[in-house]
Structure 1
C-alpha cells in the first residue's frame, strides 16, 4: 500500500506555482508572435494570413508537448512518434525565432529553401496533430495505479468506492452523499440465491444485486461469497 505525504509549501512557492508558470507561458507566447509573423511574411503570406503562424508554431509546440506527455503517461498508441514530434516542434519554434531575427538584422537573407521550408509548416502541423490525436481502439485505458486497500463491506457506499484523493495535496477526502450499508448476512445471500433458483432464474451477480437491492458490483462480490459458502457446506 502506497502512503501519501502532505507538504505545506510557503506562500511564495504556492504563488509561483499558481501564477508564475502561466504568466511566463503567456509572456513567451507573446514574445514569439512578432518573429513568427515576420517569418511567414518572408515566405510570401499576406499580413492577415501571416498572423496565424504563431498558432502553427508556438501554440502547436506547447500542444504537442502536452499531448506527447499524456501519450507517454497513459501508454497511448503512437507515443514514441508523439514524443519525437514534440521535440521537433520545440526545435521548429526556436529556429523560427532565430531565423526571423537574423533576417531582420541583415545577418542572412531569404532563399528558395527557406521559403519552401516555412511554407510546409502548416501541412506538417496538421499531419502531426492528427497523428497524436488518434485515440486508442479500446474505450477504456488500463494504467498503473498505486495499491489501495479494499474497502470493508460495512464502510463506504454501496458501490464499495474509496474516498476521493485530493490531487493537490495527495490526501484522502471523504465522499459526500450516501452513507455506508451494513454487510448482508450470509444466510440472506443464500436465501436470495434459493429464491432465484426456485423461480428458474440463473444465479448471477446482477440477479443477486437486483434481488437484494444492491449495486451490480456488490452483487458480484456476494456471488463470490455464495460460492465459498456452498463449498464449505459441501
Structure 2
C-alpha cells in the first residue's frame, strides 16, 4: 500500500522578511524561457541546459557561467539588451498562487524585495502581476555581485536595520537559496525548483504560508508541509 500523508506546520520566527521576486512571488517563467531560449540558440548552446542556470542570477552572471571564456564586458553589454527585452515582454507574467494574500499579510511588517532584476524590470513584472511593490528593495543596480553571492540579502537586512540571523528569505532558485544561506539567514523555498536545494523548509507555493505577528512584535511564518505516514 502507498504511504499516506498528513499535513503538519513548521513555524519560523523572524524580525524581517526578504523576498525574491521571479519564481517566488511573480511567475515570469514564460518570459524568461522565451528570452533565454532565443539567446542560447543564437550562441549555439542547448536551451534546456541554459535554463538550468538562468533562474536567480543576473543575466551577465548567467552568461558568464554558460560562456566562461567570453570577456565580461560583452556579457554586460548583452545583458543590457536582454533586460530591455524582458522589461518590454510581460505576456504570461502572473502572481505565484497565494501571492496577493501573502503580500497583504506582510504589509505591516518589515520586509524588502531582493531581486536580480533591475529596477525597471522589477517594476514591470510587479505591475503585470498586480502586486504591491515593497518600499524597501534591493535590485540589480544596488549590488556588485549577483546571487549566489549574499550581498543582496545582506543589504536588504541592513536597510531594514535587522541582524541577518533574524531574517527569513523567500526564494525559488538554487542561486537564491545559496545566497540566503551564505548570508546566515533561514530560507523558505517556494515552488518546485526550490525543493532540491535544501532550504530550511519548503512550500509548494505561497498558499502554504500564514504570516502573523506575535505579542512581542516578532513575525511568525507558519509553513504547511506534507509528512509521509505509515
- With normalisation by structure 1, the TM-score equals 0.22
- With normalisation by structure 2, the TM-score equals 0.22
Larger RCO (CA within 8 A; separation ≥ 6)? 2
More strand by share: 2
